[in-house]
Amino acid sequence: MKHEQNEDVTLVTGGASGIGLALTEGLLESGHRVLVADVSEENLEALRSKAPATQLRCVHMDVSDEQGVRAVVEDSEACFGPISGLVNSAGIGRDVAFLDTDLDYLQRVLQVNLVGTFLVGREVARCMRQRRRGSIVNIASVSGIRGNAGRAAYGASKGGVITLTKVQAVELASDGIRVNAVAPGPIETPLVGRMHTEAARQRWVSDVPQRRYAAPAELNGTLAWLLDDKLSSFVTGQVVSVDGGFTAAGLL
């Protein structure tokens, strides 16, 4: 069912695949105007035909490029619409044991997952502050909460995102901006498909009380709730795990 179109814009980084794509499709279906930023031109091109240009704008952006991020945000504010919501879902990673993790890989993961979340959040928050309203949702991970094997780089980056979220929430509350994080468990995304071997998949399923991976769209309800200033107006600085019970589980 289509809904009346909103004037404000939600920026979704990494919005052309995985969790970001599922959210983008859900927001479009609900009548939201969406700015999708992604590094994959192929994925962006495939997405452009899903909605008119007045509702959906797709732009190439590397979240770790400070000047590029600033240019995209400024252009959107001037030519597309005010950004009232941000979901930082761009991310990279793969399973590498701690002793096998080289410095180049560690720095690249931190640059995209943590620094990228910082840069986009900072530029968008500067615009939101002028209007004294806005909601930012950072995609973290249960690997930023639990010590999952093979996640030295990825887990460190997502743990940093969780702390960043809390600092942002505290500092931006007086500006009318809420900041929260969502920590997904195992989700059937292209990134997870590359990260999880068959053996890893079996371990994840055995450790998740619901005994399965989730579809990306199963995060949409939580993300939409956190973005909505009416439904979650007193919620900020929180980390919501959407993980089938993984972080709550003890012996199974």
Distance CA 28, CA 5 (A): 9
Dmax of the chain from CA atoms? 53
Q: How many CB atoms lie within 10 A of CB 50?
A: 16
The helix/strand/coil state of 18 is: helix
Q: How many CB atoms lie within 10 A of CB 10?
A: 26
Catalytic residue among 61, 64, 80, 154: 154
Is 213 an active-site residue? no
Q: What are phi and psi of 9, to 5 degrees?
A: -115, 140
Q: Encoding tokens for residue 110?
A: 């931190």
* CA distances from residue 55 to 8, 28, 111 in whole angstroms, order as listed: 10, 8, 30
* Spatial strand order in the sheet of 134-139: 56-60, 33-38, 9-13, 83-88, 134-139, 177-184, 239-242
Angle at 159 between CA 155 and CA 114, to 5 degrees: 90
Tell me the catalytic residues. Answer: 154
